[in-house]
Structure 1
Amino acid sequence: MTTAPQVRRHTDRAVTVLTLDSPHNRNALSAALIAELTDALDAADGDPGVRAVLLTHTGTTFCSGADLRADGVHRGPALLVGLMSRIATLSKPVVARADGHVRAGGLGLLAACDIAVAGSAATFAFTEVRLGLAASVASLPVLVRADPRAAARYLLTGETFDTAEAVRIGLVTAWDEALEGILAGLRAASPQGLAASKELTAAALRETIASQAEHLQQQSARLFASAEAAEGVRAAMERRDPPWAL
């Protein structure tokens, strides 16, 4: 039996559009989805006719984070680091468009993209802290892109916030009404100019991943191995509050 693709792709006037299409798990970052997405990014990077990549989604969720049911609790951090690193090192800009929920590791994916836009249906939350975890590797691009004081609030509280707040704190570049102008600008830019400009704009993220990813993967592994996190993840899967929730 042929498995349906979880990442759909087409090219529209020099922009490769990659659509996350795994509604059964809210576009969670499973090993299979990440492999498909990485292959699609590689193909776009190697195509001289492609100027940029647009990453979007089907359904009401852009990305719900790691797929704990499919991959367990140990593979997710390394898989996410690899994906974020590939986006940061791609020679072509990646634009994310979210018009649905963005949670946990999905925020790392969104923040790793060079430009991000979001619609009125988008909501954002770092849910890890409520599970006995931390947004360890997802924080790598988030703390590069977003205002650190605002990021601290949402990483520590797990509060849900909207697109207006995501734009205000720099996690999202603009409302999605700006998307056509952004794509027009990318189509008007020279391939060489785009590659050189991305070298400048993604440098801080590449350096952060190189220097901190291993430490944060180790932190994530320690947390996932704890009894507190096991209870938090179990409570989430059973759709109930963990015992520490007041």
Structure 2
Amino acid sequence: MQKEKNNWYASWFNTPYYHILYKDRNHREAALFMQTLTNFLKLNENDTILDLACGKGRHAKYLYKQGFNVTGVDLSEESIQYAKQYEKPGLHFEVHDMCLPYPKQFDAVFNLFTSFGYFENEVDNLRTIKSIKEELLPNGFGVIDFLNVELAIKNLVPSEKKKVGDIVFHIEKYVEDGYIIKNIRFTDEGTEYHYVEKVKALVLQDFKEYFEEAKIELKHAFGNYHLNDFDENTSERLILIFN
């Protein structure tokens, strides 16, 4: 029996297999990025940060350890249930749809690790940008950490296998209708699974158009976690800082 999921980000992120596939993510790199970013933004101890689409709270926990008051939100109930075991005064998690404004304002709102551009409807990307604007205190900063689409497409590996424990993930990547698509198929305990990841192939100009419509000012565009300038030909990331 094959289990097919339609609303990919709501279903895939809410399954344990997502966390199995990506369990080897670089935690040291994430911690250093949070240190570099908060230093650059000149955030002070006890400043408030919203970690938008926080997953299981990896970045939120680093930010809390740095002395910030952190709220992490995500659409995945499973991820938030996991993250809640780390809650304490100054570190809070809850389920929330990032298309909608969170009912509080923050010194900074971080949307990290390509947690943008998932939506089928183009209007939802703009709704998310406008929601971030509403979530910022006066003089607060928004940050979107996205992939550099030009380089990602250039270096796209069409097919690969990844074995994690007893599961072999068969991964196919391609570009279609303006999205970078990843098909993920595997079998576990006799059941076949198929999940899809879709990220809209947004470039810097697309974000500039969102920001203009939302009346947001782009302050910086960086190309990696060391916050070097963005170059569409060589940068691994597209990190946008705005308010």
Q: TM-score under structure 1 normalisation?
A: 0.26
Considering fraction of residues, name the structure with more strand: 2
Question: Greater share of helix residues, 1 or 2?
Answer: 1
